[in-house]
Amino acid sequence: MRRAKIIGTGMAVPPAVVDNHLLSRCMNTSDEWIVQRTGIKERRVSPDTYRMLLRLAEAPDKVAFMKQVFDQGLDGVIDSTLTVSDLALEASQMALERAGVTARELDCIIESSTVPDFAYPHTGCVLQGKFGLTSTPAFNLQQGCAGFIYGLAMADQFIRTGLYGRILVVGAELLSSMFDYTDRGRDMAVLFADGAGAVVLQAVEGGESGLISHHLHSDGTVLDGLAGEIYGSSTYPAISKKKIDEDRGRPRMNGRQVFVHAVRRFREVVGECLEANRMDVADIDLFIFHQANIRIIEAVAEALKIPFEKTYNNVERYGNTAAASVPICLHEALMGGRIKEGDLVLMAAFGTGFAWGASLLRW
Ligand code: ACO
């Protein structure tokens, strides 16, 4: 039977580390508050966000400084020194190298980012261009934190049907560029961060190793749970000074609502995946949940009676990197020897939309 197997993984995070203490010099928060509610101790951010935070921490009037940054950029400059496609490229190059294949040998690229380089063309194409490829099909998924799981499911179908033989699936995020790091944005700014993870999938015949099943869902009736209007036809014109002045450009989140939905949907989709494969928790060697908040993962593990040591977590070091979080965990778990040949790994993610899903694979 033809199936898709992961033959290489990779990740990339920017070098700048922002701990909770630096954030508490910018806004009214504390290491204790953030660790207790989320489990996050530090996160990686782009060089631009890092420079901005160092300046904000020293600024006597933080609101005025942040407003100036939103109005004029940092020191009047609005071009980023690192974009999301740069991170995607770095993670992809590592995955390709580990797979022993070149970008030219890819049949397709599926990329997922919440905040793209540009509204259009999409980041899959930008990434493809950075590889110097001129005809490989490239997709972009906007499934938020669930993007990588949706990408894996799509890639698996392309491979099973025989359309493609080798596909790069990437989840990359540069979320720190969106937030107001004063009190006004503190509910979201402490959670999200930057990073990328990638896998190379290849068609294999026979054997047990490879992707087994995917379970995808979305619920578009709760759009306000987690949303960003940044640019879009929900306003006319799609982008205007008025939109920015009314603060409708920035992301918004109902933290409690997201928390409750996330726990419920994780429970359901893990149950669905296990049932579809006639397995139970004891059959799974490792659970990789999207790293939004350690309390969400603890609640799901408790409800499903998953021993916590069977979960792989790094939210403490990277915060919530949305579409990048599952592939970063997968890469780290592999490198750290947490996944061995023959292991069953169940990955699940939940995010904006809401959109959520689970994928099961045998390593
Ligand atoms: N520091 C200090 N106080 C803060 C901060 C902060 N960074 N952010 C918000 N607060 C304040 C709020 O203003 C509120 O104050 P008020 O009561 O005076 O209005 C208060 O803290 C809320 O405190 P709690 O009720 O204790 O907060 P809660 O336990 O709900 O935790 C949190 C908040 C962490 C946002 C939680 O709801 C959560 O994690 N929700 C899930 C959000 C999430 O994971 N989103 C990620 C995107 S979706 C996904 O990836 C799954």
Strands 108-112 and 166-174: parallel
For residue 38, how far is its CA from the centre of ligand 1 (angstroms)?
Answer: 9
pLDDT tens-digit map of 278-287: 999 999 999 9
Identity at 12, one-letter amino acid code? A
pLDDT tens-digit map of 43-94: 999 999 999 999 999 999 999 999 999 999 999 999 999 999 999 999 999 9
pLDDT tens-digit map of 168-202: 999 999 999 999 999 999 999 999 999 999 999 99
CB 209 within 8 A of CB 203: no
Among protein residues, the one with the nearest Cα to ligand 1's atom 26 is 37
Q: In 3-state terms, what secondary structure has residue 269?
A: helix
Q: Is the CB of 258 under 6 A from ligand 1?
A: yes
Give the model's pLDDT for residue 235.
83
CB 244 within 8 A of CB 45: no
pLDDT tens-digit map of 225-238: 778 877 788 888 88
Give the model's pLDDT for residue 222.
83
Catalytic residue among 122, 215, 290, 331: 290
* Distance, CA of 114 to CA of 322 (rounded, Å): 8
Burial per residue of 260-269, b for 16 or more beta-carbon CB atoms within 10 angstroms, e otherwise: ebbbebbeeb
CB 237 within 8 A of CB 30: no
- To the query of whether residue 28 is one of the catalytic residues in this protein, the response is no
Confidence class for position 317, pLDDT limits 50, 70, 90:
very high
Give the model's pLDDT for residue 228.
81
- pTM for the complete prediction? 0.96
Catalytic residue among 145, 214, 215, 261: 145
